[in-house]
Structure 1
Amino acid sequence: MSVELRPGTVVCGRWHGNAYRIERVAGRGATATVYAAWGPMGRVALKVAADEACVLVEAVTLRDLEARGAALGPFLRDVDEADIGGRPVLFLALDWVEGVPLNRFSFGRRPEVAAAVLEQILDVLERLHAAGLVFGDLKPANVLVAPGSPPRAGVVDFGGVTPQGRLVRAHSELYDRAAWGAGGRTADPAYDLFAAALTFLAAVIGEARLAAFFNRKRSVAALCDIIRADSRLAPYRPVLEPALHGRWASAGAMRRALAAASDAGLSAVPPRDRLTAGLVGACAVAVAWFLLASAAWWERQ
């Protein structure tokens, strides 16, 4: 059962006594609502459970990763319950991560930007897989991106993390390997890499367009047709198609191939664009020399 907390509401933990003042809703999901809030440790993401079992699993997973020295997402600062709406409700307080979900991040759908984000996602997956775990519910909404060159990306919502070999604990149909007829829902690294490829694809072509393809024809062949039909994706085809077919040996291997594809994509700038960039650079040098010469002339006067 979900709860709705208004800005200014103070949530007080029953067991630890920490108080959190709600600032705004930061995100909503099937298992919890996340609020930007202020508490004793500063600004936090306060995750108020709608499904306590899933949120508790996330807390246990994060604690376990931190204990191993393999923390991959925001640190868990507090786990407690509060009286909300006349009943005890579980909540987590996590480090606040700056950024917006990838599906709302404005970057002009440029593949090279999406690739920079995907490299960071694959780095997280590589370390998670090394710990014997699978993320499970990877999708653009669970990737926070902050502006930069390259943009900084972080993976959030570890409630679907599942030990390898079991059925994935949580999934979203559009990014689910089984829903596309590409395999089962057993938690293995390839499950995450399939979702990673679709996350990249959704970032470039748009989630709505990907969903439209999904509603018409659910197959890996249809996904490959999308990639081959978009010239912007040509450098990334050797990375994406093996992920869709479950052929990558590891997230690290996919990340290294993506880095090489990104270099190839950047070098394939049309000649006209290279000429424009060269002219801009030449103009900048000329202006700099003019300013230096002017400064020297004024010093002699």
Structure 2
Amino acid sequence: MEKKNHTLKNEAPDLPNGTRLLGKWYRKPYHIRGILGRGATGVVYLAEAREGEVALKVGNNSMSITSEVNVLKHFAKVQGHILGPSFIDADDVYINGRKYPFYVMEYLQGETLFNHIDRHGKEWGPVLIVQLLGDLDRLHRAGWVFGDLKPDNLIVVGGPPYRVRWLDVGGTTVLGRSVKEYTEFFDRGYWGLGDRKAEPTYDLFAAAMILLNMTYKKRFEKGRDGKETLIAHIEGSRVLSPYQQWLKKALFGQFADAEKMRQALMHIISKEAKPLSKDPSSQAQQKSANHQKKKRKKQKGGGRRQGFSSVDVVLVISFLLLASALYWVGQVI
């Protein structure tokens, strides 16, 4: 399930905590504090620098590291929006007599998508996807696709408002080429629903799969028929009920671009958040509340009422709408 499309073996060194690295060219010192993650092109460490805590990636191939550095530099800001970690430094270092390339980037502190959903509820998953689609649209317009899009490469920072940020740009690929890296569960080729050409719909498929992954909290196998398996999981979740058609359009390549997919998702979210006054049960509750109110006026010292009235419902919905607004603000920060 975790197979990736890469040819270079990751031979980046394992550095124990406390290791001191000194850049060959710029002579900047870094102290290793721990491992943050491993990828196809290197190992990312938490390090201490003059600027404070940073993320430092040591690789085994200069071309791959240079490519990632160029992506970070190029997309540090796209139309005023910060997409990935800020680039800080790039250099070479000698470890046990062998030269390794490395680069340093901003250390993003936050929580995983799964932890965020655990704290706030699965209903907030689509809101995070709205933010992600906005960033993908800006990336695609600049001529790139993310490629290896999955929860492991994303982090939720700040809050409120919360913000989705990208952690690893190693799979970013120029439009029209073959995707450099992929993870099977989020790869449309694995599910038999497309090729691995770097185009916007490749990322849109992965974005929809992230919502499925956040809902089920596991990566299921495709079985005999990938398409039928996905449909079964979409239709088998109560949480995903409002998003069934949206998910199918995304997985089957029916959205022209990320912005259209984003607008469609925002429409569903806003529709779900509308007051329940049009619902028959809500109207019945309103009539009952009015009746109780008139009755209490005729009584002396009627005491404090129990339970929830339509006013309580409106207050709760207003709170949810306010929370949604905070997320929308987070999207454009």
Conserved in 1, the CA contact under 8 Å of 2:110 and 2:156?
yes
2:37 to 27, 45, 49: 27
TM-score relative to the length of structure 2:
0.75
Q: Which moved more, 1:75-84 or 1:141-150?
A: 141-150
Calculate percent identity across the aligned residue pairs.
34
Q: Does 1:213 align with 2:224?
A: no
The residue type paired with residue 133 of structure 2 is L
For residues 18-41 of structure 1, what are the alpha-carbon distances to aligned partners after superposition, in whole Å with 9 as ceiling and x for unaligned? 111112211222222111112122
Q: Does 1:263 align with 2:283?
A: no
**1:268 Cα offset (Å):** 8.3
Conserved in 2, the CA contact under 8 Å of 1:109 and 1:204?
no
**1:262 Cα offset (Å):** 1.7
| CA distance 1:81–1:105, change in 2 (3 Å) | farther
Q: Does 1:237 align with 2:219?
A: no
Aligned equivalent of 1:86 = 97
Residue segments in structure 2 that go unaligned for 5+ positions in a row: 1-10, 286-306, 317-333
What is the aligned residue count? 278
| CA distance 1:13–1:277, change in 2 (3 Å) | farther
Aligned equivalent of 1:167 = 178
**1:102 Cα offset (Å):** 2.5
Map 1:94-133 → 2, pairs under 5 A: 94-103=105-114, 105=116, 107=118, 110-133=121-144
**1:63 Cα offset (Å):** 2.1
Q: Distance in 1 between matches of 2:179 and 2:72?
A: 17
Q: Distance in 2 between matches of 1:78 and 1:109?
A: 36
Residue segments in structure 1 that go unaligned for 5+ positions in a row: 283-301
1:6 to 7, 10, 16: 16
Q: Distance in 2 between matches of 1:100 and 1:86?
A: 37
Aligned equivalent of 1:278 = 312
Map 1:194-209 → 2, pairs under 5 A: 194-206=205-217, 208=218
**1:112 Cα offset (Å):** 2.3
The residue type paired with residue 155 of structure 2 is L
Conserved in 2, the CA contact under 8 Å of 1:121 and 1:155?
no
Q: Distance in 1 between matches of 2:106 and 2:183?
A: 25
Q: Distance in 2 between matches of 1:79 and 1:277?
A: 58
Relative to its length, the structure with more helix (as a share) is 1
Q: Does 1:73 align with 2:84?
A: yes
Give the structure, 1 or 2, with the largest relative contact order (CA under 8 Å, sep 6 or more).
2
| CA distance 1:228–1:147, change in 2 (3 Å) | farther
Conserved in 1, the CA contact under 8 Å of 2:75 and 2:84?
no
Q: Distance in 1 between matches of 2:271 and 2:153?
A: 28
TM-score relative to the length of structure 1:
0.83
For residues 245-286 of structure 1, what are the alpha-carbon distances to aligned partners after superposition, in whole Å with 9 as ceiling and x for unaligned? 10111111111111122223344889799869928969xxxx
Conserved in 2, the CA contact under 8 Å of 1:109 and 1:203?
no
Aligned equivalent of 1:287 = none
Q: Distance in 2 between matches of 1:268 and 1:175?
A: 35
1:227 to 231, 234, 237: 234
Q: Distance in 2 between matches of 1:230 and 1:67?
A: 37
| CA distance 1:218–1:10, change in 2 (3 Å) | farther
Aligned equivalent of 2:54 = 44
